[in-house]
């Protein structure tokens, strides 16, 4: 089956009695150009592990990205929550030896550490859970000894979410998700994707985003890292307030949360830990 052919995808769904689940974010990519753009973005950068890499894929759906990754020589571990799609994937793609399918919720696998150690993650993430999945993966850095987030992640997300992830200080779209992701990753917008490139067609457009581990903060200690997360969470929960009002007695500033760079937040976290007041926030 040509997984970028709308007529063939619809025909399989009809014959199989399968109805895409909106709650699970089942909007299948049916555009060959977008597929190639995702694969090119994911596999164009050198990764420390042997090339092509072993790739983690979350939410493979019918397997259009899975098939593309396999065709480029990657080994793929795919996590699929929908039992019908999980059960069909290997057989539909010809039982490839370098494909492993895990059935269940990706968030559970992430917490169990079963998503650690993959050099790359490439996914069309479900809309509702996409941001949480990405943050959970990113924040495996420093969570526990041996925990390791992917070096490269290329994902399809809602455009609004993608823009928040890439937003720099001073931007109206800057939010907590972007600050946390940028602590360990450089974020690049690859391309916008029209809603017409999916079936069923979603109500809003999507964007391909590339995240690359920058390792600039690898030496940051667990205490500073934890305080960075607490400070930014509290600040963005009250983003209309000045920081001096949010952190009375700790910070004297008229700035608001989105005005600070990641370097500013890190410097603040370090200074508070050094002063022994980190637990007071």
Residue 30 Cα to chain centre, angstroms = 21
Of the pLDDT bands very low, low, confident and very high (cuts 50, 70, 90), residue 45 is: low
Please tell me the number of Cα atoms within 13 Å of 249 on its side-chain side. 4
CATH 1.10.8 describes domain 222-280: yes
Alpha-carbon distances of 56 from 5, 16, 46, 84, 125, rounded to whole Å: 24, 27, 17, 20, 12
Q: Which CATH code fits 6-213? A: 3.40.50.150
Where are the domains positioned within the chain? Answer: 6-213, 222-280
Do 222-280 and 6-213 have the same topology in CATH? no
C-alpha 217/C-alpha 110 separation (Å) is 22
Give the tens place of pLDDT for each residue, 7-24. Answer: 999 999 999 999 998 888
Those residues with Cβ within 8 angstroms of residue 235's Cβ, 6 or more apart along the chain or in another chain: 243, 246, 247, 257
> Within 13 Å of residue 216, how many CA atoms lie on the same side as its CB?
11
Per-residue pLDDT tens over the stretch 119-158: 999 999 988 889 999 999 998 876 655 568 899 999 999 9
Q: How far is 96 from 73, CA to CA, in rounded Å? A: 11
Q: Residue range 237-256: average pLDDT? A: 93
Determine contact, residues 110/138, Cβ cutoff 8 Å: no
pLDDT digits (tens, 9 = 90+) for 91-101: 999 999 999 99
Asked if residues 166 and 208 have their Cβ atoms less than 8 Å apart, the reply is no
**How high does pLDDT run on average in the chain?**
92
The pTM for the full model equals 0.92
CA atoms within 13 A on the CB side of 202: 26
Q: What is the pLDDT of residues 54-70, one digit of tens each?
A: 999 999 999 999 999 99
């Amino acid at each position: 089956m040509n997984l970028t052919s709308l007529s063939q995808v619809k025909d399989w769904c009809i014959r199989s009695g399968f109805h895409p689940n909106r709650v699970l974010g089942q909007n299948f990519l049916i555009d060959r150009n977008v597929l190639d753009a995702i694969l090119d973005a994911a596999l164009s950068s050198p990764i420390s592990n042997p090339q092509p890499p072993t790739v983690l894929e979350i939410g493979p759906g019918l397997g259009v990205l899975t098939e593309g990754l396999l065709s480029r020589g990657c080994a793929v571990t795919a996590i699929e929550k929908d039992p019908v799609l999980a059960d069909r994937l290997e057989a539909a793609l010809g039982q490839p030896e370098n494909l492993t399918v895990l059935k269940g919720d990706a968030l559970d696998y992430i917490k169990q550490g079963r998503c650690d150690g993959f050099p790359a993650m490439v996914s069309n993430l479900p809309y509702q859970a996409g941001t949480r999945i990405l943050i959970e993966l990113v924040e495996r850095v420093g969570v526990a000894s041996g925990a390791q987030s992917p070096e490269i992640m290329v994902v399809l997300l809602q455009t609004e979410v993608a823009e928040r992830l890439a937003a720099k200080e001073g931007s109206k779209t800057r939010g907590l998700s972007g600050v946390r992701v940028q602590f360990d990753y450089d974020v690049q917008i690859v391309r916008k994707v029209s809603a017409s490139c999916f079936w069923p067609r979603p109500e809003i457009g999507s964007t391909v985003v590339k995240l690359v581990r920058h390792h600039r903060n690898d030496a940051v200690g667990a205490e500073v890292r934890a305080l960075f997360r607490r400070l930014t969470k509290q600040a963005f929960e009250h983003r209309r307030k000045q920081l001096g009002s949010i952190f009375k007695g700790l910070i004297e500033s008229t700035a608001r949360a989105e005005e600070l760079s990641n370097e500013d937040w890190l410097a603040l976290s370090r200074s508070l830990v050094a002063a022994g007041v980190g637990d007071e926030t």
